[in-house]
A and B are shown apart, each in its own frame.
Chain A
Amino acid sequence: MADLYMYLIVSAVIFTIGAYGIITQRSGIKILMCIELMLNSANLNLVAFSSFNDNASGQVFALFSIAIAAAEAAIGFAILVALFRVRDTINLDNINILRW
């Protein structure tokens, strides 16, 4: 079995853990952590294919993806801080402030 296969399997496992966490958890911080897990599994795929194909573009894309994930996490935590000031909770079941 090829070595690349193992990277893909590990990436699929990490993605599944992240998706399962997003389905089950109701806390905002946990959901943000699971989003990071899913993004990092995609990064793992990019780096593995790039390294096995001897093509640097995949690793450059992984770098961009990491930076965008950092921006997304910053915005997400800022929104959670603002919501906690208003509602005193970050349980997403109790937050309907954007609903009309």
Chain B
Amino acid sequence: MLNKIFNLIVALLLFTAMFISINDSFSVWSGKDQANEITVETLATGAGGIFSNYIFSFELLSLLLVAALIGALYIAKKEAL
């Protein structure tokens, strides 16, 4: 019981810290009350797009996914551990 109350207090403290930091940094990012739509073309081939600026990261990500897939299959197969 005491443990549960302590856990709740820790979570509430975390939320309070984040809330205070959001409120305090309000002056930094305020004034932008209009969400601009970013099209798929901008996201893909624009200045900061996946296929222009971040193409190396994109290729590296594919390598990471293949490695994770092979590793997961190796761990989860029967003879492991």
Contacts and interface: CB of A to CB of B under 8 A. Distances in A.
Interface residues of B, number: 46
A52 B35 contact: yes
A10 B45 CA distance: 31
A54 B68 CA distance: 33
Contacts of A77: 72, 76
A41 to B, nearest CB: 10
A8 interface: yes
B43 A52 contact: no
Given A12-B19, A56-B42, A68-B64, A3 B14 contact: no
Nearest to B30: A2
Nearest to B46: A56
